[in-house]
Structure 1
Amino acid sequence: MVKIILTFTALSMALSMVMGHGVHGLEKRATATCSTVYKPVAAGAYPALDCTPFVQDPQVQTWLKLVDFTKTPVYPPSKDGVCPTDLTTIPKDQCWWTCQKCEAPGDITSCPKTGTWGLTYDEILWTLVICTHASRKNSARVHFGPPKFATNNPQVLSTTKQYALSHSSLLDACLPCLDGPSPDSPRLYDNLLAHKQKATLFIVGSRAISFPATLKRAYADGHQIAIHTWSHPSMTSLTNQQIVAELKWTEKAIFDTIGVTPLYWRPPYGDVDNRVRNIATQLGYKTSIWTQDFDTDDWNIPGGTATAQSVVATFQSWLAKIPTMSTGFIVLEHDLFPQEVDVSVNGILPIAYATKNLVMQPIAQCLSDGKPYKEGAGTFQLLPSNNGTTSNSTTGPTVISGSGDKSSNAAVSISVSSGASVLMAVAVMTALC
């Protein structure tokens, strides 16, 4: 058996800097530990964590009957959500958000009212797999994200060895590491609670069953709980049946943990097209993304290609745009790494709390939806229309007094990493890795 103990932040920074990963690399699960051999899920159990569930399972077969696939548009699955070199090869009616910047009529990308920030966190998953091999006693192969990110880079291997406190040269083994909710998520929740602030939390199914106490705490605090898939894949890369399995297993995991069925979902990386939307809609879900180009870039802080100062500056630049916007906004932000939570609780949130007339709300609140779950309101409380979860109407360095000019139609959303969480002027934050 191989036991590998890593210093999370230090290693993640080294890997990010060496390998130059964007959001797809940082938040993507490792696929090396996912079996290709189908085994039925036992009664009362769940699929393998962080792996796309098998569609042969009897439970999935039952869920498939909920969708009329003859009504689902036919587009070939993408290659891990990556856009083709020639974008003109994508059918215009595919409305692929990632590559065509296309928003469908039902997409939630902003809050209707000006000066409103839809606050959201993405509870995203991050998996690191270290493989040691008997043939290379003093080396390790690092799998960071999907197989194409696997590396034998000497600098990465050196970093890995530095933090591997023990290993075996006798066995070949792969250990998935650091794929849980961020230990700093409760710190973010504490901050929100202290300011009586609620947010929308997009939950990865694998994290829901791995860290039920964290999810129960978030729900008890009155945050809106939403779906962020089972294993955090690029949804356009999946088959129709896999899409159903990813969504429904997550729904079940959340229901089994807190007793409610979310009606809102967010595609990982915002990777959605009309095929994926159709299936999600038939299952009863509302597709929630974020405002185009409202990415705080906070996920690049651990890798050293962004700083807390640059993230805060980006947020402040959005606040300056509010007077020209005809809607609120949703921002992408994360809370997987300590640095991401730090910039939220010490940088972005204090500015937001102090900004006059900025209203911060969960998505359901900004849409005046008092029933974000199939069962109804749950612990979510819909406040009067003129009373945001937090309305900073007294003092603050920034004053929002927009004219409602319809020349701008932006919205902001902040997402947190799977195990991670996020913020936004309607900011959507998500946090369970």
Structure 2
Amino acid sequence: MKLHALVALLAALSTTAHAHSQPELKRHANLKRQTTSSSSASSSAVSSASSAASATVTTSVTGSSSSTGTAVVSSVSTAASAANSGVAATILIESATISGVPALTAITSGMSSGSTFAATTTWATTASPPVSGAPSLPTPFVYSEGVWPTQDKTPPTDTDEVQSWLAELDGWDIPDLEPTTDGTCASDPTFSADAASRGWWTCGAHTRDTDIINCPDKLTWGVSFDDGPGPYTQKLLNYLESVDISATFFVVGSRVIERPAVLVEEYMSGHEISVHTWAHPHLTTLTNEQIVAELGWTRKAIKEVIGVTPTTMRPPYGDIDDRVRAISLAMGLIPIIWTTAGTLGSFDTFDWEVAAGTKTGPECVQEFDNILGNASDIDTGIIVLEHDLYEVTVDLAIGYNLETAQNYNPAFTLKPIGECYGIPTTDLYRESNTNTSFPYTNTTTDVNGDGTADNTTTTTSSGTSTRSSSGVLTINVASIYTTFSLVGLMAFASTLL
């Protein structure tokens, strides 16, 4: 019996090692266009899509009272020619009857607002948190004017708090990059032309190995929402609970102190919490001190409300370069961005454009549906950008985008980003984290003593890390968790011998 188990284990080790050596674990998606498909597979795709078109989903999304509605997939966005060519069939939902969600054509920036949603649960401070090793919930947060910076404005940098957080940058080589004018390529053509060397995501989607930009496993959908907690976030939480989906919430500090009970509901319901700055600025436009203030006050607000400090962040608008990246890492925050795949598009739902009045609901859903059709052509899974600050973005999520995800052919697996990336939940918060390799610790950078950062590479038990001449520490995040998985399997093997 032990011999059989050992043989099976060795096979698993071989498979795991091979799988994690493939391109899907690299930070940049390796694109592979599907070109062939058997006629039986094509028929199956059309049949599955047609079946999904008549499927119904019943769910309750109301806050104070229980109400049941039905989401109906009324149209399949596919053609026989597409199915016969082997292109994955996608489903475009044109109408929804989930309670409280209007028809797609009615979702616009000027639509009438419905009732807002308050948190539905009062959690005791003795309630066990959903994260192993995390402290109990703090006493309920009470906002005190004068203790916190002005909402929606970059905090001042001369406070005791910011000065103490600046000390976290000691020993780190922060690249001496000039701030951008407004975070856009058009306003800074010189910086834009140099975007690759600056690692500026905004102009060309340039990333580093320290960035999390996809889910490693193909057809895995990393569910994420930015900018809340908002007045309709609880409506979203009710829906997510009803369909058993967990998400990552990138929260804004100014919103956290405004709706602390909703943040508690997110956290205690098992969703992942991450930093999304205090006032939602383009971070590349700020000074080093201002970036520290934006990240530091948001960390503090989150901890005051739920008792833990996130170890991840998402830059607003995806606006990050090597300077912002280095400051984030020095403060113990791993950058997470949504997936972009070159000519295949960015996995952005464009819900924010509906809120801004630059797109209609149907235009938004159709454009995202077209891009979603490329998911099968990518060797990794995807991280998708959505928002929970506005009623229109929540309605698009629960009535259309997430329903599309659940009815997609081939099927998606929906997970929060930390889980889809294989990061233990305990690693996502400083207070519960015992992993010395995540987030990254500072290392010696000026080995030869010439006053500049050396381009050195070291191999450790957590993978390969590189400190470039720009001073940015790069570590392959995926290799850390691949190593942990293999170590766990080897430990189990020892019990069989």
TM-score, structure 2 normalization: 0.54
The residue number in structure 1 matching 2:152 is: 50
Measured against aligned partners, the alpha-carbon deviations of 1:2-32 in whole angstroms (never above 9, x if no partner) come to xxxxxxx999649xxxxxxxxxxxxxxxxxx
Q: 1:191 and 1:43, CA in 2 relative to 1: closer, same or farther beyond 3 A?
A: closer
Aligned residue identity for 1:313: Q
- Does residue 280 of structure 2 align to residue 232 of structure 1? yes
Q: SS where residue 375 of structure 1 aligns?
A: coil
What does residue 105 of structure 1 align with?
Answer: 209
Instruction: Give the equivalent residue in structure 1 for 2:231.
Output: 183
1:331-382 CA distances to partner (integer Å, 9 max, x unpaired)?
222233222211111111112122353101111101111121112279xxxx
Q: Say whether residues 1:365 and 2:419 are aligned partners.
A: yes
Structure 1 residue 330: Cα displacement: 1.2
* Contact 1:308 1:347 survives alignment (8 Å): no
**Farther-moved stretch of structure 1 (207-216 vs 335-344):** 335-344
Aligned-partner Cα distance in 2 for 1:214–1:88: 39
Tell whether the 8 Å contact from 2:195 to 2:201 is kept in structure 1 after alignment. no
Identify if the C-alpha distance between structure 1 residues 258 and 329 changes in structure 2 by more than 3 Å, giving closer, same or farther: same
- How does 1:142-161 map onto structure 2 within 5 Å? none
Partner of 1:322 in structure 2?
Answer: 375
Mapped to 2, the partners of 1:43 and 1:49 lie a distance apart of 11
1:244 aligns with 2:348: no
Q: Matches of 2:247 and 2:364 in 1, distance apart? A: 20
For the 8 Å contact 2:195–2:204, the answer to whether it is kept is no
Which residue of structure 2 aligns with residue 5 of structure 1?
A: none
Tell me, yes or no, if the aligned pair for 2:157 and 2:289 is still in contact at 8 Å: yes
1:152 aligned partner:
none
Q: Which has the larger radius of gyration?
A: 2
**CA 1:105–1:310 in structure 2 vs 1: closer, same or farther (change >3 Å)?**
same
Question: How much has 1:299 moved relative to structure 2?
Answer: 1.6
Identity across matched positions, percent: 40
5+ residue gaps in structure 2? 1-105, 112-143, 341-345, 435-497
Alignment of 1:144-293 (within 5 A): 181-292=229-340, 293=346
TM-score by length of 1: 0.62
Q: How many residues align?
A: 288
Q: Is the 8 A contact 2:109 2:357 kept in 1?
A: no
Instruction: Measure the CA separation in 2 of the matches of 1:235 and 1:364.
Output: 23
Deviates more, 1:90-99 or 1:43-52: 43-52
CA drift of 1:73 comes to 0.5
1:343 paired with 2:396, answer yes
**Residue 111 of structure 1 aligns to which amino acid in structure 2?**
C
Report how far residue 296 of structure 1 moved: 1.7
C-alpha separation between the residues in 1 aligned to 2:289 and 2:379? 39
Partner secondary structure for residue 203 of structure 2: helix
Matched AA of 1:225: I
Structure 2 equivalent of residue 145 of structure 1 = none
Q: 1:71 is paired with a residue of what secondary structure?
A: coil
Which fold has the larger relative contact order, with Cα–Cα distance below 8 Å and residues 6 or more apart in sequence? 1
Q: Which amino acid aligns with 2:226?
A: D
Q: How far apart, in 1, do the equivalents of 2:399 and 2:195 lie? A: 44
